[in-house]
Amino acid sequence: MSILASLASKSGDNEFHTPIPKSYIVGKTKYVFTFGTVMSGLGKGIFSSALAKTIQDKGIKVTPIKCEGYLNMDSGTLNPFRHGEVFVLDDGMECDMDLGTYERFLDNNLTKDNYSTSGQIFQQVLDKERNGEYLGRDAQIIPHVTGEIKLKLRELAIKSKADIVFIEIGGTVGDFESLHFIEASRELAYEEGKENVVFIALTYIIEPKTLGEQKSKAAQLGIHKIIEHGIQPDIIACRASSPVTDKIREKISVYSNVPFERIIGLHDLPSIYLIPDLIKKSKLDTHLLEMLNFTNKIDSTLEKKEIKKWNALINAIQNPKKELTIGITGKYTQIRDSYASLIKALEHASAFHEIKINIKWIDTSDLEKNPDKTKEELSDVSGIIVPGGFGTRGAEGKIECIKYVREQNIPYLGLCYGFQMAVLEFARNVCKIPNAQSTELEESAKQKVIDILPEQKKIEGLGGNMRLGGKDVEVKKDTAAYKLYDNKTSIRERFRHRYEVNPEFIPKLEEKGLVFSGKAPKHPIMQILELPTNKFHVGSQFHPEFTSRPLKPNPLFKGFIEACLK
């Protein structure tokens, strides 16, 4: 009998373990942990997503979870400069951008169950302590915090009915912030039985230009750090700028006690969508399933179908027939991760049209100081996108860009904030409302064309100051949006915003030719705008980039790129 089976048979009062869920079956679900060593930014989420996809392609049900060390309850208040974009799930959870990577690779909608922070875990422990569940005992990191982490993983296994749960431990091994997650990983392997758990260490092989060769010492020390915490890696993935040599793999193997064939190289590639093929060539997916005794569950027919579809995507990415330059105007242009989903959505649409997109980043803060430079900045683009954002900085520069492309009939796509800025531009320059403004930009403005609606103010008073997550959108027939969404009158997209088009101004905007082709069902909340006189001038209050997938590009991006090609 495994240690977990022994624990499950008891009352649940064991001092060092949390109660095991009654519906839990020992060994039914397998667990694959991915840890990062040496440095941050290695791409643990991308690697774990790609590996999970190769396993899913074989007919094995998988689900991921990202465990973050910070004390925030979610990612909603994190600055894009520091942490990349905030990705929003359909259920409204604001989370790490890696959840977007998992959704895109696995083509699945995830939930709050697939995301955990230290803040969430500690809150659950404190709530239980206040409710008297630890009477007579002092609440501690071990067993209570680690127990809560293990309970979350097992509950995810039950809810998802997954064969394998892929767990990504955020941060870098050695950080204080993630120690409790690492300890919980070790305990879970002990309780579940090592045959049901695989540990993967992602490390980095440096290649100093002055030496002209790869060096493994930093990787060795990083791996040694994780072994110090009681985690013996079963597989080591070596990130590097160029293909990892066998000499380096041999050194890592000897130092870490990991078989040579389970030390794989992950060098830089032109697209993250090439990584599943690299994993298959290294036979990492085969090694993983052998270790978990899952080889008898492989569906070879399904795998061949999925590989064929994915290869078509790769072929389109690697062999574009044409190139386009698309301008993206924003204020976080120095940090590409701030627009990760947007960049990926453009990749999906470009692969669909078999083209290559070159992105021109335009800092609208500069255009505010020198609006006359707008024409020069946009002279070489085939279309522009104004993405989501918050605050006043760069707003007037964005409006100048929108005015230029509207007048020059250059394709435009506005996302969330870009939707609102397009309304302001139209109100000022076409409807001749010179003081048209957004409450976000000027709280005391007289002409509040963009405002917080009364309904939203009530919500804000209760503490939830955003419309978040998946919402239905009612699409007007015989509009551009209607055609783009395959003649559907109802679609579902994801939102993250506070401000809306003020209903008082809608009649005047429509009178001058602006069409609101999408709205909230039963509410005067405008969600899609278009200008029929232009070949493509569309804005969405939602974030279509959050629902775009490699093999299923979002319709708005497909239509935008098609217009740019024409």
Task: Please write the tens of the pLDDT for every residue from 37-58.
Answer: 999 889 999 999 999 999 999 9
Are 288 and 336 within one domain?
no
Structural domain contains residue 10: no
For residues 109-127, give the mean pLDDT. Answer: 97
For residues 312-340, give the mean pLDDT. Answer: 85
Q: What is residue 498's predicted lDDT score, i.e. its pLDDT?
A: 86
Q: Could you tell me the CATH number of the domain that includes residue 219?
A: 3.40.50.300
pTM tops 0.85, yes or no: yes
**How many Cα atoms are found within 13 Å in the side-chain-facing hemisphere of 295?**
8
431 is catalytic: no
Structural domain contains residue 429: yes
Count other C-beta atoms under 10 Å from residue 16's C-beta.
11
Most confident region among 7-21, 295-309, 543-557 by mean pLDDT: 543-557
Structural domain contains residue 12: no
C-alpha span between 454 and 458 (Å, rounded):
6
Query: In terms of Cα–Cα distance, which of 196, 371, 381, 423 is closest to 289?
Result: 196
**Residue-range definition of the domain harbouring residue 498:** 320-565
Are 308 and 341 within one domain?
no
Count other C-beta atoms under 10 Å from residue 212's C-beta.
7
Q: Under a CB-based contact definition with an 8 Å cutoff, are residues 118 and 69 in contact?
A: yes
95 is catalytic: no
Question: Residue 7 pLDDT more than 90?
Answer: no
Are 43 and 185 within one domain?
yes
Q: What is residue 41's predicted lDDT score, i.e. its pLDDT?
A: 85
> By percentage, how much of the chain surpasses pLDDT 90?
77
Q: Given 238, 416, 431, 564, which residue is catalytic?
A: 416
Q: Residue 346 corresponds to which tokens in the numbers above?
A: 């453009």
Q: What is residue 490's predicted lDDT score, i.e. its pLDDT?
A: 97
Chosen domain end from 288, 312, 336: 312
Predicted confidence band of residue 258 (pLDDT cuts 50, 70, 90): very high
The strand pair at 164-169 and 467-475 is best described as unpaired
Rounded to the nearest angstrom, the gap between the alpha carbon of residue 508 and the centroid of all alpha carbons in its chain is: 38
For residues 453-470, give the mean pLDDT. Answer: 63
Q: Among 39-43, 63-67, 80-84, 223-227, name the one with the lowest average pLDDT.
A: 80-84
Q: What is residue 59's predicted lDDT score, i.e. its pLDDT?
A: 96
For residues 280-304, give the mean pLDDT. Answer: 93
Q: Among 43-52, 455-464, 479-488, name the one with the lowest average pLDDT.
A: 455-464
Question: Residue 549 pLDDT more than 60?
Answer: yes
Are 294 and 343 within one domain?
no
For residues 354-368, give the mean pLDDT. Answer: 89
348 is catalytic: no
Structural domain contains residue 234: yes
Q: Under a CB-based contact definition with an 8 Å cutoff, are residues 139 and 129 in contact?
A: yes
Question: 261: which DSSP letter?
Answer: G
For residues 30-43, give the mean pLDDT. Answer: 94
Q: Among 27-31, 86-90, 157-161, 265-269, name the one with the lowest average pLDDT.
A: 27-31
Q: Among 3-12, 171-180, 292-301, name the one with the lowest average pLDDT.
A: 3-12
For residues 333-341, give the mean pLDDT. Answer: 75
Q: Among 219-223, 330-334, 421-425, 502-506, name the one with the lowest average pLDDT.
A: 330-334
Q: Given 168, 191, 543, 564, which residue is catalytic?
A: 543
Question: Residue 463 pLDDT more than 50?
Answer: no
Structural domain contains residue 506: yes
Write the pLDDT tens digit of every residue in 399-449: 999 999 999 999 999 999 999 999 999 999 999 998 999 998 888 888 999
Q: What is residue 10's predicted lDDT score, i.e. its pLDDT?
A: 46
Q: What is residue 1's predicted lDDT score, i.e. its pLDDT?
A: 46
Are 47 and 131 within one domain?
yes
Q: Which residues contact 358 (CB under 8 A, 6 or more apart)?
A: 323, 324, 325, 326
Are 326 and 302 within one domain?
no
Q: Residue 28 corresponds to which tokens in the numbers above?
A: 């039914």
C-alpha span between 253 and 169 (Å, rounded):
23
Structural domain contains residue 4: no
Are 400 and 305 within one domain?
no
Are 307 and 349 within one domain?
no
Structural domain contains residue 307: yes
Are 523 and 412 within one domain?
yes
Write the pLDDT tens digit of every residue in 127-186: 999 999 998 889 999 999 999 999 999 999 999 999 999 999 999 999 999 999 999 999
Q: Rg for the chain (alpha carbons), in Å?
A: 26
Q: Residue 493 corresponds to which tokens in the numbers above?
A: 């997209």
For residues 354-390, b (16+ Cβ closer than 10 Å) or e, as one string? ebbbebeebbbbebbeebeebeebbeebbbbbbbbbe
Q: At what angle do helices 44-56 and 275-282 cross, to 10 degrees?
A: 70
Residue type, 527: Q
Are 348 and 248 within one domain?
no
C-alpha span between 97 and 85 (Å, rounded):
6
Query: In the sheet that 235-240 helps form, which strands lie side by side, from edge to edge?
Result: 115-117, 62-68, 164-169, 30-36, 197-204, 235-240, 263-267
Chosen domain end from 265, 295, 312: 312
Question: Residue 335 pLDDT more than 70?
Answer: no
Q: How many domains does the chain have?
A: 2
Q: Which residues contact 274 (CB under 8 A, 6 or more apart)?
A: 314, 317
Q: Residue 73 corresponds to which tokens in the numbers above?
A: 């309850």
Are 274 and 344 within one domain?
no
Mean pLDDT, the chain, whole residue set? 91
Are 125 and 245 within one domain?
yes
For residues 468-477, give the mean pLDDT. Answer: 96
Q: What is residue 26's predicted lDDT score, i.e. its pLDDT?
A: 61
Question: Residue 320 pLDDT more than 60?
Answer: yes
Q: What is residue 9's predicted lDDT score, i.e. its pLDDT?
A: 46
Structural domain contains residue 8: no
Q: What is residue 95's predicted lDDT score, i.e. its pLDDT?
A: 94
Question: Residue 333 pLDDT more than 60?
Answer: no
Q: In the chain, how long is the greatest CA-to-CA distance?
A: 78
For residues 494-502, give the mean pLDDT. Answer: 92
Chosen domain end from 312, 333, 364: 312
Q: What is residue 458's predicted lDDT score, i.e. its pLDDT?
A: 56
Q: What is residue 183's predicted lDDT score, i.e. its pLDDT?
A: 97
Q: What is residue 462's predicted lDDT score, i.e. its pLDDT?
A: 41
Instruction: Looking at 88-233, list the stretches that DSSP marks H as alpha helix, in order from N- to C-terminal side.
Output: 98-106, 118-130, 146-160, 179-192, 217-228
Q: Given 183, 187, 500, 545, which residue is catalytic?
A: 545
Query: In terms of Cα–Cα distance, which of 249, 266, 54, 78 is closest to 170?
Result: 78
Tell me the CA distances in angstroms from 331 to 79, 81, 135, 261, 397, one per residue in order.
12, 10, 51, 45, 10
